[in-house]
Amino acid sequence: MSLPQDFIWGFATAAYQIEGAATEDGRGPSIWDVHCAKPGKIADGSSGAVACDSYHRTAEDIALLKSLGATAYRFSISWSRIIPVGGRNDPVNQAGIDHYVRFVDDLLAAGITPFVTLFHWDLPNGLDERYGGLLNREEFPLDFENYARVVFAALPKVKHWITFNEPFCSAILGYNTGLFAPGHTSDRTKSPVGDSSREPWIAGHNMLVAHGRAVKAYREDFKPTHGGVIGITLNGDAVYPWDPQDPKDIEAAERKLEFAISWFADPVYFGKYPASMVAQLGDRLPTFTEEERALVQGSNDFYGMNHYTANYIRHKDTPAEDDDFVGNLECLFDSKAGECIGPETQSFWLRPNPQGFRDLLNWISKRYGKPTIYVTENGTSIKSENDLPLEQILEDDFRVKYFDGYVRAMAEASEKDGVDVRGYLGWSLLDNFEWAEGYETRFGVTYVDYENDQKRYPKKSARAMQPLFESLIKKT
């Protein structure tokens, strides 16, 4: 097994999950600041107001990355630090720009390649209040393009750009289940606003168009002089038919991938939504205008892949519910034969299954014409990790095994299957604010002591990555 000689690896984070400093240096509120302030929305009642305090600790985080041997670091930019209200006619905050300029310069000086995400779920709240945020087909794509242009101009040294992180999560968890900001859902016990049957598909469509506008702007006005690449990062779980002898389960497994991944990837690569989605959703799924299609189709220089887990998929014979977003099927952890997909973790949705990673890499590679793939997130929580004494938390053998299995599965996909995978960014560098789960769930290779000045302690998994990659990356 081996990975390409120029393969890069490191770790990933997101602004709202680690930065803190939520009201400092001109930053405006995001929809997550507002969401966290609503009682009952976050498991432990917390927020990202302080988080890992990384806004004040960039030097410490870079030193940590360097000590672990990382060659790349993926982080996201807080839109409301750059344009506090968010819109194209709103003031730009120079202090926010200066912060990220220094951070990029310092990463490069340390020999670490920055991967920069423009949008990791933290929309400026001003845009949500002004026109409904992601639901506005006219305004949102224009404001996102403007924000992207401001950041592109400020950071010419960045060569790897990601427009949106997991638009599936922004759309479904933000506008169907209401679990994530801004919390829209048809369930009136959870939110006074929202239409779970229509809003997520509208939000997804508008993010695709916004992505297309930002990519066009980069390619035409920045790439000729900056020379970088740009893409979108999509999440997706691996699938196995619950009954591998049942054609309906086999078909349902494929449909699950289409509803999760192809919802966004098909328009980017083929200019249209998957037929399975059109068939189930009908007129609830927006249609592309010719102008929108031209913006979106072909708008990836690489495929950003976030992946964590797998499921057995069982079809349903009953009609799809209006709020269904998976393709009218069941996602299970046990097969018809009683096989379990993998061991439990702290996250109810996550069970390790490295073979699924290899299978999904192959599925993406074949469906989309062998694109260059960067794995931009992959990692695991550990059941009850937060309840253990520090000494045991630092001996995170479960996470070491997870990374070892998944990275080797990726290497097999590269070496044996011919998948063009060029980079891997583990989730996450730090324990951090885990969205609706607050600080009860830890994904970091570094323990963060939230009670004692956010002090960092690298876990065993942090130290295991460099020798793992050194054993797999081809030598000169």
What's the average model confidence in pLDDT over 310-320?
Answer: 98
Residue 377 known to be catalytic:
yes
Residue 166 known to be catalytic:
yes
Residue of 145, 199, 254, 377 marked active site? 377
What's the maximum distance between 2 C-alpha atoms anywhere in the chain? Answer: 60
Please check whether residue 361 lies inside any domain of the structure.
yes
Q: What are the start-end ranges of the H helices in 271-424? A: 275-281, 290-296, 354-367, 390-394, 397-415
Please check whether residue 3 lies inside any domain of the structure.
no
Query: What does each C-alpha distance from 331 to 167, 240, 328, 342 come to in angstroms?
Result: 20, 10, 10, 14
Please check whether residue 338 lies inside any domain of the structure.
yes
Please check whether residue 1 lies inside any domain of the structure.
no
Q: In the block, which residue shows the tokens 């709202």? A: 16
Distance of CA 433 to the CA centre of its chain: 14
- The torsion angles phi and psi of 136, rounded to 5 degrees, stand at -95, 110
What total of structural domains would you count in the chain?
A: 1
- Residue 434, domain extent: 8-472
Distance CA 88, CA 148 (A): 10
Distance CA 257, CA 238 (A): 8
Per-residue pLDDT tens over the stretch 148-181 = 999 999 999 999 999 999 999 999 999 999 999 9
Exposure b/e, 174-209, CB count within 10 A at least 16 = b? bbbbbbbbbbbbbeeeebeebbbbbbbbbbbbbbbb
Count other Cβ atoms within 10 Å, centred on residue 102: 12
Please check whether residue 98 lies inside any domain of the structure.
yes
pLDDT band at 422 (very low <50, low <70, confident <90, very high): very high
pLDDT of residue 212: 99
Query: What does each C-alpha distance from 253 to 222, 333, 349, 458 come to in angstroms?
Result: 40, 13, 17, 38
Instruction: Give the orientation angle of helix 263-270 with respect to helix 167-175, to 10 degrees.
Output: 140
What's the average model confidence in pLDDT over 75-103?
Answer: 98
Q: For residue 364, give the CATH number of its domain.
A: 3.20.20.80
pLDDT of residue 476: 80
Please check whether residue 70 lies inside any domain of the structure.
yes
Please check whether residue 211 lies inside any domain of the structure.
yes
What's the average model confidence in pLDDT over 400-404?
Answer: 99
Distance CA 363, CA 360 (A): 5
- Token pair, residue 180, equals 């994530």
Residue 1 has pLDDT above 80, yes or no: no
Please check whether residue 2 lies inside any domain of the structure.
no
Residue of 19, 145, 166, 434 marked active site? 166
Q: 3-class SS at 12?
A: strand
Per-residue pLDDT tens over the stretch 92-132 = 999 999 999 999 999 999 999 999 999 999 999 999 999 99
